[in-house]
Structure 1
Amino acid sequence: MARPWDDFRLVKAIADHGGLTAAATRLGINHSTAFRRLTAIEAALGTRLFERARTGYAATQAGTAMVAAARAMEETASQFAREVAGRASEPTGQLRVTAPSGLVTDLLMPIFAAFRAHRPGIHLDVVVSDDALNLSRRDADVAVRASNDPSPNLFGRRLATLGWALYGRADRAEADPRRADWVTLSEAVGDGRFLRFVAEHGDPERITLRLNTVTGLCEAVEAGIGIGLLPCLSADARPALRRIGSAEPPFADSLWMLTHPDLRHSVRVRAFMDFVGDAVVALRPMLEGRPLPERRARELVLSRP
Structure 2
Amino acid sequence: MDAGLSWEELELVNELVAGGTLSAAARQLGVDQTTTARRLARIEARLGAALFDRVDRRLRPTPLLRDILPQLSTMAAVAEEAGNRLRRSREEAAGSVRVSSLGLVHGLILAPSLGDLAAAHPGIEVDLNIEDRSVSFEEREADLAVRLGRGPVDNATIRRLGRLAFALYRPKAGARSGCIVAYGQDYADMPEMTALKALRPDARVMARSNSLDVLAEAAASTGADVMLPVLMGDADPRFAEVAGTRGAAFRDVYRLAHPERGKAPAVRAVARWIDATVSRRLDKS
Q: Work out whether the TM-score is over 0.5.
A: yes
> 1:184, 1:194 within 8 Å by CA — same for their partners in 2?
no
1:1-305 equivalence runs, <5 A: 88-149=90-151, 151=153, 153-171=155-173, 180-189=178-187, 191=189, 196-203=194-201, 206-244=204-242, 245-249=244-248, 251-284=249-282
User: Aligned equivalents of 1:190 and 1:135: distance in 2?
Assistant: 27
User: Aligned equivalents of 2:160 and 2:191: distance in 1?
Assistant: 23
SS at match of 2:181: strand
Q: Which deviations, in whole Å up to 9, do the C-alpha atoms of 1:41-67 show, x marking residues without a partner?
A: xxxxxxxxxxxxxxxxxxxxxxxxxxx
Letter in 1 for 2:183: L
Give the CA deviation at 1:207: 0.6
SS at match of 2:272: helix
> 1:94, 1:123 within 8 Å by CA — same for their partners in 2?
yes
Q: Which deviations, in whole Å up to 9, do the C-alpha atoms of 1:55-95 show, x marking residues without a partner?
A: xxxxxxxxxxxxxxxxxxxxxxxxxxxxxxxx943211111
Q: Which deviations, in whole Å up to 9, do the C-alpha atoms of 1:99-140 show, x marking residues without a partner?
A: 111211122111223212321111112221111111122111
- Decide whether aligned partners of structure 1 residues 194 and 256 sit closer, same or farther in structure 2, where only a CA change above 3 A counts: closer
Letter in 2 for 1:168: R
User: Aligned equivalents of 2:228 and 2:96: distance in 1?
Assistant: 34
SS at match of 1:274: helix
User: Aligned equivalents of 1:113 and 1:146: distance in 2?
Assistant: 24
> 2:170, 2:240 within 8 Å by CA — same for their partners in 1?
yes
User: Aligned equivalents of 1:267 and 1:156: distance in 2?
Assistant: 17
Letter in 1 for 2:228: L
> 2:134, 2:151 within 8 Å by CA — same for their partners in 1?
no
User: Aligned equivalents of 1:102 and 1:190: distance in 2?
Assistant: 20
Aligned identity (percent) is 26
Consecutive unaligned residues in structure 1, runs of 5 or more? 1-86, 289-305
How big is the alpha-carbon RMSD for the aligned residues of Structure 1 and Structure 2? 2.7
> 1:141, 1:259 within 8 Å by CA — same for their partners in 2?
yes
- Decide whether aligned partners of structure 1 residues 136 and 88 sit closer, same or farther in structure 2, where only a CA change above 3 A counts: farther
Q: Which deviations, in whole Å up to 9, do the C-alpha atoms of 1:241-286 show, x marking residues without a partner?
A: 111123245x31111111122233211111111122112222225x
SS at match of 2:216: helix
Larger-gyration structure (1/2): 2
Give the CA deviation at 1:219: 2.3
> 1:166, 1:247 within 8 Å by CA — same for their partners in 2?
yes
> 2:165, 2:282 within 8 Å by CA — same for their partners in 1?
no
- Decide whether aligned partners of structure 1 residues 152 and 133 sit closer, same or farther in structure 2, where only a CA change above 3 A counts: closer
User: Aligned equivalents of 1:124 and 1:152: distance in 2?
Assistant: 22
> 1:186, 1:192 within 8 Å by CA — same for their partners in 2?
no
SS at match of 1:110: helix
User: Aligned equivalents of 2:188 and 2:164: distance in 1?
Assistant: 14
Output the TM-score relative to the length of structure 2.
Answer: 0.61
Letter in 1 for 2:128: V
- Decide whether aligned partners of structure 1 residues 105 and 149 sit closer, same or farther in structure 2, where only a CA change above 3 A counts: same
- Decide whether aligned partners of structure 1 residues 91 and 210 sit closer, same or farther in structure 2, where only a CA change above 3 A counts: same
